[in-house]
């Protein structure tokens, strides 16, 4: 059984590649390397002892996709490829709609032509928009607050309609909450280019002294300590969620959506203090104004994934902080040695 990972050289993709290889399935990666390094897959091969062939190309480019499907017998697909910076999507909406929707549309067309109908899609909790009611359930109404989120929403709709029209498709939509951490080996991890937008990689770069201090975006939210609350989930738990989704897709036609979160919300300061305690390292921070577009609280009801996929997150906030720092410590400049 061979699984194609579009965008599989990226942060979540490389951790998922490792889990799939360790489960006994084969992996092929298509990645344009716009936000990833081939070194990640070299490390995956070192960790698993198995090859994860990389085809450098673009998921929105039909020829690149044809090349993969002609060269390999693809049985299932995990679709990670896409631009994912919220702020950038607000500044460049056309680039986001063109890139992310073309990728999904072209991929589905080529899959259909090659008789490949199992697909797991990398969606995001961002599709829930500014709902206040917590924990978030898959049945809640959707509504996005930025073009990046809308591309996830629209890709979900494209997949739903395709699944309705062609019963051969087996489609699983996975809504990620806040992926953090790294594989316990410290050999693969999150490697954002430039100044990180997200909290954990920013904390790691403050801890290593590359950045002076963390700006905590607001401490006047209606939460336990005034700072934002999120459902941080260990990237290896997320990767294992993809394994469960691929097994489910093998046996079930139609379209199913699942939240991949822990079901527990932690605040920004919870994360900072846990990181300091677990790693015995100081993370200087200052309270800054709220970041436009941020919501106060966001965490999952993960019960549907537990019931239908037999999956739940196992790793603690301490594990997330320890593993994130272990990767950063071992790779101060990410994959650029």
| Contact stretch for ligand WQD (CB under 6 A) within 17-25, 33-41, 101-109, 215-223 | 215-223
If the CB atoms of residues 51 and 291 are measured against ligand WQD, the closer one turns out to be 291
Minimum CB–partner distance for residue 271 and ligand WQD (Å)? 8
What are the angstrom distances between the C-alpha of 286 and each of 53, 217, 289? 44, 9, 10
Number of residues counted as binding ligand WQD (CB under 6 A):
19
Q: Report the residue from 211, 215, 253, 308 that binds ligand WQD according to the rule CB under 6 A.
A: 215
| Contact stretch for ligand WQD (CB under 6 A) within 18-26, 39-47, 162-170, 198-206 | 198-206
If the CB atoms of residues 84 and 183 are measured against ligand WQD, the closer one turns out to be 84
Q: Among positive and negative, which fits the CA dihedral 103, 105, 108, 114?
A: negative
Pairing of strands 170-176, 254-260: parallel
What are the angstrom distances between the C-alpha of 38 and each of 10, 72, 204, 235, 299? 9, 19, 22, 19, 33
178 binds ligand WQD (CB under 6 A): yes
If the CB atoms of residues 248 and 266 are measured against ligand WQD, the closer one turns out to be 266
Binding mask 37-56 for ligand WQD (x = CB under 6 A): --------------------
| Contact stretch for ligand WQD (CB under 6 A) within 21-29, 70-78, 94-102, 210-218 | 210-218
DSSP helix/strand/coil, 308:
helix
Q: Among 11, 148, 221, 299, which one carries the catalytic annotation?
A: 148
C-alpha 202/C-alpha 272 separation (Å) is: 11
Question: In which order are the strands placed within the sheet that holds 26-31?
Answer: 54-56, 26-31, 2-6, 76-79, 118-124, 170-176, 254-260
How many CB atoms neighbour CB 206 within 10 A? 22
Query: Please, how many CA atoms are within 13 Å of residue 312, restricted to the half-sphere of its CB?
Result: 11
Place of tokens 């709220």: 290
Q: Report the residue from 44, 107, 216, 313 that binds ligand WQD according to the rule CB under 6 A.
A: 216
Q: Report the residue from 198, 247, 303, 316 that binds ligand WQD according to the rule CB under 6 A.
A: 198
Minimum CB–partner distance for residue 130 and ligand WQD (Å)? 12
In which element (H, E) is residue 110 found?
Answer: helix 93-113
Q: 279 and 325 in contact (C-beta within 8 Å)?
A: yes
Q: Report the residue from 197, 219, 247, 264 that binds ligand WQD according to the rule CB under 6 A.
A: 197
Minimum CB–partner distance for residue 264 and ligand WQD (Å)? 15
Respond yes or no: is residue 148 known to be catalytic.
yes
If the CB atoms of residues 291 and 336 are measured against ligand WQD, the closer one turns out to be 291
Q: CB nearest ligand WQD: which residue?
A: 228
Q: What is the dihedral of CA 295, 299, 305, 306, to 10 degrees?
A: 180
If the CB atoms of residues 147 and 186 are measured against ligand WQD, the closer one turns out to be 147
> Which letter does DSSP use for residue 136 in this model?
B
Residues near ligand WQD (CB under 6 A) are: 84, 86, 124, 126, 176, 178, 197-199, 202, 214-217, 228, 230, 268, 291, 294
**Which of the residues are catalytic?**
148
């Amino acid at each position: 059984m061979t699984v194609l990972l579009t965008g599989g050289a990226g942060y979540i993709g490389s951790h998922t590649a490792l889990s799939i290889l360790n489960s006994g399935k084969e992996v092929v990666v298509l990645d344009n390397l716009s936000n990833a390094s081939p070194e990640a897959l070299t490390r995956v091969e070192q960790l698993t002892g198995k090859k994860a062939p990389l085809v450098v190309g673009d998921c929105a480019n039909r020829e690149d996709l044809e090349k993969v499907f002609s060269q390999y017998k693809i049985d299932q697909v995990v679709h990670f490829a896409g631009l994912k910076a919220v702020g950038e999507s607000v500044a460049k909406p056309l680039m986001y709609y063109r890139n992310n929707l073309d990728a999904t549309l072209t991929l589905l067309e080529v899959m259909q032509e090659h008789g490949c109908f199992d697909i797991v899609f990398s969606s995001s909790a961002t599709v829930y928009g500014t709902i206040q009611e917590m924990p978030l359930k898959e049945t809640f109404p959707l509504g996005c607050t930025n073009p990046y989120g809308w591309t996830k929403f629209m890709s979900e709709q494209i997949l739903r309609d395709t699944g309705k029209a062609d019963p051969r498709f087996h489609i699983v939509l996975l809504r990620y909450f806040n992926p953090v951490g790294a594989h316990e080996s410290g050999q693969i991890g999150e490697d954002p280019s430039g100044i990180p937008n997200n909290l954990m990689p920013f904390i790691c770069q403050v801890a290593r002294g590359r950045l002076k201090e963390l700006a905590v975006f607001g401490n006047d939210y209606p939460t336990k300590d005034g700072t934002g609350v999120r459902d941080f989930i260990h990237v290896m738990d997320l990767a294992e969620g993809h394994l469960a989704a691929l097994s489910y897709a093998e046996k079930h036609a139609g379209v199913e959506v699942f939240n991949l979160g822990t079901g527990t919300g932690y605040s920004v300061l919870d994360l900072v203090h846990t990181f300091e305690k677990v790693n015995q390292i100081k993370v200087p921070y200052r309270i800054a104004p709220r970041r436009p577009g941020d919501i106060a609280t966001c965490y999952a009801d993960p019960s549907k994934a537990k019931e239908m996929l037999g999956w739940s997150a196992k790793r603690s906030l301490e594990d997330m902080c320890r593993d994130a720092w272990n990767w950063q410590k071992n790779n101060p400049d990410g994959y650029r040695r």
